[in-house]
Amino acid sequence: MDKLVLIDGNSLLNRAFYATPVFTTRDGRPTNAIFGFTKLLIKILGDVKPQYLIVAFDLKAPTFRHKMYDGYKATRKPMPEELAAQVEPLKALLSEMGIAMCAKEGLEADDIIGTLSAKFDVHSYIYTGDRDSYQLVDERTDVYFTKRGVSELLKLSVSNFREELGIEPGQIVDLKALMGDKSDNIPGVAGIGEKTALSLLVRYGSLDGIYEHLGEISGATGAKLAAGKDLAYLSYKLAAIDRNCDIDVVLKDCRAPGKFSAGVKRMFAEFEFRSLLKDDLFEEGAEAVIDDSVRYPKKITYGSYAEFERAANGHNIFSAVLEDACLHLYFGDAEHVLILSDDLLAENLCHDDFIKALALVFGTPENTVTMFDCKTVMHTLEAYGVKFLCRASDRKSVV
């Protein structure tokens, strides 16, 4: 059976960031998370030798879980600036490596991975730092959980799952429904911890089984379960990964790379990943000729549309990242940042200026804009009332 590797991009990048000492290139770019992620990716390709590979990413847009429960993930701290700066460079590197990426508004990477692992007639290998994925283990799906950093992995399969965790994969959602999940701010049943939840599941099998026999559960535990029933079932819905999402992915477009191109070698050199510049990773004759005059683009933030219009005058080829109220554009050897804000004292754009800037870039037919996930960008523009008229060039991605 063919092998499909599914990687939770945000989760592993986050793990790599905290597991790898922070270091930067000579011109100040933080690259430690990209380095740790790339090292693991290369190891996976060597160890598993998959026919197919997809990296799934979260988007900033609210998911169906946020709409179901306002408190979902509300206690999460913002991503550190040094990590946030590495997300788009990683996606650019993956695109150069010929690795398919998948993201969809309203879904989390878990849902994408869960759906893709069930969609195709392959054996799936999921790499993640998120315990939610434990529920995905089945006869055709193994989960590799990053126990420590990105180097120590716990392999979970149907053969060792109960031995490792004491319950079956199908009971993971029931467990989270009872004990909650602090990392995702899933409430669970107040006063029910992991030990009690596990004992209840061993005895009654499932959340439904527990409540069907609630009369048998006496004392404080029974009272807590009775008082927390609604939250338990809400928590169940929040914790359950959706394995039937509408994701249009063609498996043959997601082939795992073999040897890497000269372009990848150049990017490794620009990131100063000297230990990865090994000839056996690259196509024969691939050279990494680096122009020392090329540096990471300077960042320019705009306080008015007029300033941006002057800077963009004469340019019609852009690389763009649009995330809600922020547009990152790359042209003319610089990163141009346009932020929508009501704070008149900050260096940003008012609503009307932000809309005009979006229209100048995406609403001009003569422009060519390269971006990740064109469909999501188009939906975002629709929400702002901006017509998408430019020529779109999508980085390698599948949605």
Q: What is the DSSP string of 367-391?
A: -EEEES-HHHHHHHHHHHT----SE
Is the pLDDT reported for residue 294 higher than 50? Answer: no
Is the pLDDT reported for residue 291 higher than 90? Answer: no
CA–CA separation, 189 and 180 (whole Å): 7
Q: Which amino acid is located at 144 in the chain?
A: Y
Residue 1 confidence (pLDDT): 92
H runs (alpha helix) in 228-344:
229-239, 262-270, 305-312
Shared domain check, 188 and 121: no
pLDDT over 70 for what percent of the chain?
A: 92
Is the pLDDT reported for residue 271 higher than 50? Answer: yes
CA–CA separation, 156 and 311 (whole Å): 53
Shared domain check, 130 and 205: no
By residue range, what is the domain housing residue 108? 3-166+242-254
Residue 148 confidence (pLDDT): 73
**pLDDT tens digits for 30-86?**
999 999 999 999 999 999 999 999 999 998 878 889 989 888 888 888 888 889 999
Give the list of residues 6+ apart from residue 123 with CB closer than 8 angstroms, or none.
1, 2, 3, 4, 140, 141, 142
CA distances from 95 to 74, 89, 242 (A): 31, 10, 27
CA–CA separation, 35 and 16 (whole Å): 8
Residue 343 confidence (pLDDT): 53
User: Tell me, what CATH number does 327's domain have?
Assistant: 3.30.420.10
Which of these three, 189, 211, 239, is where a domain ends? 239
Residue 35 confidence (pLDDT): 95
Task: Kindly state whether residue 288 falls inside one of the protein's structural domains.
Answer: no
For the segment 142-168, the average pLDDT, to the nearest whole number, is 91
Chain length of the chain: 399
- 241 pLDDT tier (thresholds 50, 70, 90): very high
User: Helices 87-96 and 32-48 meet at what angle, rounded to 10?
Assistant: 40
Which of these three, 212, 239, 266, is where a domain ends? 239
Structure tokens at 189: 């049943």
Shared domain check, 92 and 174: no
- 229 pLDDT tier (thresholds 50, 70, 90): very high
CA–CA separation, 146 and 162 (whole Å): 19
For the segment 226-252, the average pLDDT, to the nearest whole number, is 95
Q: What is the arrangement of strands in the sheet containing 141-148, beginning at the earlier edge strand?
A: 100-102, 52-56, 3-8, 123-128, 141-148, 152-156
**pLDDT tens digits for 332-343?**
777 788 888 755
Task: Kindly state whether residue 24 falls inside one of the protein's structural domains.
Answer: yes
| Per-position DSSP letters for 181-249, written without gaps between them | BTTTTB--STT--HHHHHHHHHHH-SHHHHHHTGGG--HHHHHHHHHTHHHHHHHHHHHS--S------
Shared domain check, 40 and 157: yes
Residue 124 confidence (pLDDT): 98
Shared domain check, 301 and 382: yes
CA–CA separation, 341 and 195 (whole Å): 47
Shared domain check, 247 and 110: yes
Residue 398 confidence (pLDDT): 38
Give the list of residues 6+ apart from residue 171 with CB closer than 8 angstroms, or none.
201, 205, 206
For the segment 209-230, the average pLDDT, to the nearest whole number, is 94
Is the pLDDT reported for residue 176 higher than 90? Answer: yes
CA–CA separation, 132 and 192 (whole Å): 19
**pLDDT tens digits for 371-380?**
766 777 888 8
| Per-position DSSP letters for 4-45, written without gaps between them | EEEEEHHHHHHHHHHHS---B-TTS-B-HHHHHHHHHHHHHH
**pLDDT tens digits for 116-153?**
999 999 999 999 999 999 999 999 999 999 987 777 89
Residue 397 confidence (pLDDT): 41
Strands 3-8 and 123-128, bridge-based pairing: parallel
Residue 24 confidence (pLDDT): 85
Is the pLDDT reported for residue 299 higher than 70? Answer: yes
How many domains are contained in the chain? 3
Asked if 276 and 34 touch (Cβ cutoff 8 Å), the reply is: no
Average pLDDT, the chain: 89
**DSSP label of 282:** B
- 286 pLDDT tier (thresholds 50, 70, 90): low
| Per-position DSSP letters for 244-261, written without gaps between them | -------GGGGBPP-SBP
Residue 288 confidence (pLDDT): 55
Q: Which of 24-33, 254-263, 272-281, 328-337 has the highest mean pLDDT?
A: 254-263
Structure tokens at 248: 């249009």
Is the pLDDT reported for residue 313 higher than 60? Answer: yes
Residue 318 confidence (pLDDT): 87
Residue 347 confidence (pLDDT): 64
Shared domain check, 181 and 39: no
Asked if 397 and 102 touch (Cβ cutoff 8 Å), the reply is: yes
Task: Kindly state whether residue 373 falls inside one of the protein's structural domains.
Answer: yes
Shared domain check, 246 and 214: no
